[in-house]
């Protein structure tokens, strides 16, 4: 029996509160790189397991460190003096019934493919080293995969929470990074790297956006050229944000640490378009939540979803499912200002049977909880009854995780 609890949430919706803060780390940010690469490895392993064994085997490739390299930036183009190091950790299935799986080969090939497709200036052969620390899984967790049934047992006792809808501020922060890393923008501004971070602060109806974006030194001839091109980028971003923001005032800043008169040391330059080339390290779980932002005013899950297996690891499944259910409820049930969904698993229990599914909703004035409870419950039951489809989409990478 499914345990569903539905409550009215007595609080002011986020957009009606005086202040909110939201962040997004972009495609080439070291933390996002780790999340993205490790999840692609999980997808690649899942496909191989399905092809060879008809089922996804135990794996949790959710530990990764991207150690920064060393570069010398110069106007007109610098050089890489020490390669970045990508470390891969945790567990995978290397062999089933005498059939070996080339886990290390899959890991490295998948990583190189991701860099080739997403980072214009990173050559995964020249600019990266690889250290694989993936080991065979613990017997207790491996055994979960050998038990029969439509759904596997949860690999952990763990909780997750998701919400809907995004606020206007959250959407602007999300969309601005996507705009800066779009193919169209890079064609117009090839000097901008993929390493982007957006911080948004809303106070009442005043929005402040602070953008950090790596510039690629080979496209910058001088300090004067840098600031000229930065102004051009600033103008383009201002137009983009202003066209989407229903605010009294929008204030936009790019690369706030820059200081004229200090040459290369006073501007944000990289050789490869990411700060990981010579400054900042990255790690799984330090980046965006699974809905693509870091929403500081909201409750969020503590688990990192990237790289966890998609069939038993509730740290991945419930993390994304909570947002899926919240969005479905908000879209299908009228009169709800905000929806929060909490899921709690019990280790060993089937993943479609959470210990509790708690739905908290902020209602429009005059609407009673009783009037919408049945509709909310129907959405929850529909999602749990179709969890096998959701899990399959996770396994094949159809649902983004950062």
What are 191-246's pLDDT values in tens digits? 999 999 999 999 999 999 999 999 999 999 999 999 999 999 999 999 999 999 99
d(CA 284, CA 305): 9
- pLDDT category of residue 143 using cuts at 50, 70 and 90: low
d(CA 382, CA 389): 11
Question: 145 and 310 in contact (C-beta within 8 Å)?
Answer: no
The residues near 74 (Cβ < 8 Å, ≥ 6 apart) are: 217, 264
The residues near 105 (Cβ < 8 Å, ≥ 6 apart) are: none
List helix spans (H) across 201-313.
Answer: 223-242
Question: 91 and 138 in contact (C-beta within 8 Å)?
Answer: yes
Whether 392 has a pLDDT exceeding 60, the answer reads yes
Whether 41 has a pLDDT exceeding 90, the answer reads yes
Give the model's pLDDT for residue 385.
95
Distance of CA 42 to the CA centre of its chain: 15
What order of strands is seen across the sheet that includes strand 128-136?
Answer: 128-136, 84-92, 59-67, 282-283
Residue among 200, 142, 167 nearest 21 (CA): 200
Give the model's pLDDT for residue 150.
80
Out of 3.55.50.30, 3.40.50.1220, 1.10.10.10, 3.30.300.340, the CATH code matching 15-25+167-281 is 3.30.300.340
Q: What sign does the dihedral 216-222-225-227 (CA atoms) show?
A: positive
What pLDDT, in 10s, does the model give residues 277-307? 999 999 999 999 999 999 999 999 989 999 9
d(CA 347, CA 357): 15
Give the model's pLDDT for residue 142.
58
The DSSP string of 280-291 is --EETTSS--TT
HSE (side-chain half, CA atoms, 13 Å) at 31: 17
Residue among 322, 311, 318, 332 nearest 376 (CA): 332
Task: Say what percent of the chain tops pLDDT 70.
Answer: 97
């Amino acid at each position: 029996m499914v345990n569903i609890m539905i409550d009215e949430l007595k609080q002011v919706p986020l957009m009606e509160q005086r202040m909110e803060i939201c962040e997004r780390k972009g495609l080439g940010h070291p933390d996002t790189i780790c999340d993205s690469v490790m999840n692609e490895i999980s997808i690649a392993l899942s496909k191989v397991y399905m092809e060879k064994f008809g089922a996804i085997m135990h794996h949790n490739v959710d530990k990764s460190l991207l150690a920064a390299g060393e570069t010398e930036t110069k106007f007109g183009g610098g050089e890489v003096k020490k390669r970045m190091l990508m470390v891969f950790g945790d567990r995978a299935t290397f062999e089933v019934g005498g059939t070996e799986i080339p886990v290390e080969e899959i890991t490295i090939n998948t990583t190189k493919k991701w860099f080739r497709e997403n980072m214009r200036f990173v050559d995964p052969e020249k600019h990266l080293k690889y250290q694989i620390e993936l080991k065979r899984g613990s017997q207790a967790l491996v055994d979960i995969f050998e038990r029969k049934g439509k759904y596997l047992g949860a690999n952990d006792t763990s909780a997750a929470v998701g919400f809907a809808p995004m606020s206007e501020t959250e959407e602007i922060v999300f969309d601005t990074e996507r705009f800066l890393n779009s193919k169209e923008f890079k064609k117009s501004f090839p000097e901008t790297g993929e390493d982007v971070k957006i911080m948004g602060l809303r106070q009442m109806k005043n929005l402040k956006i602070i953008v950090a974006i790596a510039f690629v030194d080979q496209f910058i001839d001088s300090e004067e050229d840098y600031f000229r091109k930065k102004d051009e980028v600033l103008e383009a971003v201002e137009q983009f944000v202003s066209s989407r923001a229903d605010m009294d005032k929008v204030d936009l800043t790019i690369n706030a640490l820059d200081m004229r008169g200090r040459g290369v040391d006073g501007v944000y330059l990289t050789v490869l378009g990411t700060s990981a080339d010579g400054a900042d390290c990255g790690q799984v779980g330090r980046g965006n939540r699974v809905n693509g932002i870091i929403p500081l005013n909201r409750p969020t899950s503590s688990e990192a979803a990237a790289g966890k297996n998609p069939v038993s690891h509730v740290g991945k499944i419930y993390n994304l499912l909570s947002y899926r259910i919240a969005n479905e409820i908000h879209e299908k049930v009228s009169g709800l200002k905000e929806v929060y969904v909490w899921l709690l698993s019990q280790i060993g229990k089937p993943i479609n049977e959470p210990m509790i599914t708690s739905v908290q909703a902020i209602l429009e004035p005059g609407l009673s909880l009783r009037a919408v409870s049945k509709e909310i419950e129907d959405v929850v039951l529909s999602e749990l009854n179709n969890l096998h489809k959701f899990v399959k989409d996770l396994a094949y990478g159809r649902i983004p995780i950062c």
